């Protein structure tokens, strides 16, 4: 009886998540692994309040937000059992279930760029990798706002973080687009 009730509750929970648009795969498709003991902060800044401290070689959920500070250091927004906050890429490595490890030093800001223009229809992805989850589409000629961060992958391809209106549903979204399918202005 208890097992049947548990299974029924689990099935209802899964259906509720699917109906709400949540993705069960989202939780661990990207995560950070600490390379040293580090502070999780309330904002992406060394002067921000410490929310909690993670030991070396710990793991936490990556929530999808990144910030490039004035020093050129990338910060990742994470979720831990002790609280949510920002951790510096100097002490954490971003990883994906696709086997990709993102080097924090490979993120940078393009100088003088305001927009990214699609040179053909292209996918915008959650992370700068070919197998990353597709968050939306830019149609040929569509302009997106350059959101101040770029990444060079292991093939040497530059990915730009953009804010855009999705061609499929007209919603405002953000994500990564490959420079193979865009130009900057």
Helix (H, G, I), strand (E, B) or coil at 99: coil
- Say yes or no: 127 and 171 in one domain: yes
Q: Which of 93, 91, 95, 106 is nearest to 46 (CA)?
A: 91
- Say yes or no: 72 and 37 in one domain: yes
131-151 pLDDT, tens digit each: 888 999 999 999 999 988 899
Segments of the chain assigned E as strands: 30-34, 38-41, 50-54, 59-68, 74-80, 83-88, 92-96, 101-102, 107-108, 115-118, 122-125, 134-138, 143-152, 158-165, 172-178, 182-184
pLDDT at 115 (0 to 100): 92
pLDDT at 13 (0 to 100): 33
pLDDT at 14 (0 to 100): 33
Q: What is the 3-state secondary structure (H, E, C) of 2-14?
A: HHHHHHHHHHHHH
Determine, yes or no, domain membership for 12: no
- Calpha distance 103→95 (Å, rounded): 9
pLDDT at 105 (0 to 100): 77
Quote the domain boundaries for residue 89. 26-107
Pick the last residue of a domain from 60, 75, 107: 107
pLDDT at 45 (0 to 100): 94
- Say yes or no: 83 and 147 in one domain: no
- Say yes or no: 31 and 76 in one domain: yes
- Say yes or no: 163 and 117 in one domain: yes
Q: How many domains does the chain have?
A: 2
- 77 neighbors 92 (Cβ within 8 angstroms): no
- Calpha distance 33→87 (Å, rounded): 10
- Calpha distance 162→54 (Å, rounded): 30
Pick the last residue of a domain from 107, 140, 167: 107
Pick the last residue of a domain from 84, 107, 130: 107
82-109 pLDDT, tens digit each: 899 999 999 999 988 767 788 777 888 8
pLDDT at 151 (0 to 100): 92
- 139 neighbors 167 (Cβ within 8 angstroms): yes
pLDDT at 140 (0 to 100): 95
Residue 144: other Cβ atoms inside 10 A: 23
Determine, yes or no, domain membership for 8: no
pLDDT at 21 (0 to 100): 38
pLDDT at 98 (0 to 100): 66
CATH number at residue 147: 2.30.30.40
pLDDT at 101 (0 to 100): 83
Low-confidence ranges of the chain (pLDDT < 50): 1-28
Determine, yes or no, domain membership for 157: yes
């Amino acid at each position: 009886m208890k097992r049947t009730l548990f299974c029924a509750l689990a099935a209802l929970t899964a259906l509720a998540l699917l109906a709400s648009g949540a993705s069960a795969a989202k939780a661990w498709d990207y995560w950070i692994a600490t390379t040293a003991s580090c502070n999780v902060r309330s904002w992406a800044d060394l002067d921000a309040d410490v929310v909690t401290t993670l030991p070396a070689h710990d793991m936490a959920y990556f929530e999808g937000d990144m910030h490039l500070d004035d020093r050129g250091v990338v910060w990742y927004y994470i979720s831990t059992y002790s609280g949510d906050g920002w951790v510096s890429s100097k002490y954490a490595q971003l990883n994906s279930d696709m086997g990709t490890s993102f080097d924090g030093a490979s993120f940078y800001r393009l100088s003088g760029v305001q927009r990214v223009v699609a040179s053909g229809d292209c996918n915008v992805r959650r992370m700068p990798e070919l197998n990353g989850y597709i968050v939306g589409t830019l149609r040929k000629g569509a302009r997106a706002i350059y959101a101040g961060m770029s990444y060079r992958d292991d093939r040497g391809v530059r990915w730009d973080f953009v804010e855009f209106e999705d061609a499929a549903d007209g919603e405002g979204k953000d994500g990564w687009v490959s420079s193979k399918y865009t130009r900057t202005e």
